């Protein structure tokens, strides 16, 4: 059964390895993130006013990191809908399977990096919101 979203979706702090030259964050699959990383992709040059995402995944787990700029990520478990401001490179937003998610209000220059537990597979997407609601009710 889908876990309900908590009142404040957990942003996970990432360890910053900084020195007087600047900062560095390393994310190792199975260590800093609770799954092996099968795929990394990043979203950038998003046109003003665009809303991306608008889907859920059947089995994919992902962590989102806004490495530059800022945007809003909306998470929806079919019961509760929450907006999360992504504006720091030192936190990650876990987006589990069967969570409807949308990304909007990308500031110019925003880069949203995604660490994913599986390779790309279009059949894993639920792109219709009513189909998403039906799917979570039958789980």
Q: Of the two residues 14 and 62, which places its CB atom closer to ligand T46 in the complex?
A: 62
Is 70 near ligand T46 (CB under 6 A)? Answer: no
Q: How far is it, in rounded angstroms, from Cα 139 to Cα 137? A: 6
Q: Of the two residues 32 and 118, which places its CB atom closer to ligand T46 in the complex?
A: 118
Q: Of the two residues 25 and 55, which places its CB atom closer to ligand T46 in the complex?
A: 55
Is 62 near ligand T46 (CB under 6 A)? Answer: yes
Q: DSSP labels for 55-72?
A: EEESS--EEEEEEES-EE
Q: Cβ distance 94 to 12 under 8 Å?
A: yes
Which element (helix H / strand E) includes 130?
A: helix 129-137
Residue 91: which of 3, 2, 4, 15 has the closest Cα? 15
Active site residue 55: yes
CB of 30 to ligand T46, least distance (A): 20
Q: Which residues bind ligand T46 (CB under 6 A)?
A: 39, 41, 43, 52-53, 62, 101, 114, 120
Among all residues, which ones are annotated catalytic?
55
């Amino acid at each position: 059964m889908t876990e309900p979203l908590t009142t404040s979706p957990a942003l996970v702090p990432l360890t910053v390895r900084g020195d007087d030259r600047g900062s560095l964050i390393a994310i190792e699959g199975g260590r800093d993130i609770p799954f092996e990383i099968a795929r990394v992709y990043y979203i950038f040059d998003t046109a003003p006013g665009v809303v991306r995402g608008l889907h859920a995944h059947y089995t994919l787990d992902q962590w989102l990191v806004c490495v530059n700029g800022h945007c809003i990520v909306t998470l929806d478990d079919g019961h509760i809908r929450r907006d999360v401001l992504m504006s720091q490179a030192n936190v990650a937003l876990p987006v589990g399977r069967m969570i409807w998610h949308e990304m909007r209000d990308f500031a110019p220059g925003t880069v949203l990096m995604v660490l994913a537990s599986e390779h790309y597979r279009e059949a894993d997407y639920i792109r219709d919101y009513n189909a998403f609601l039906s799917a979570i009710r039958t789980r």
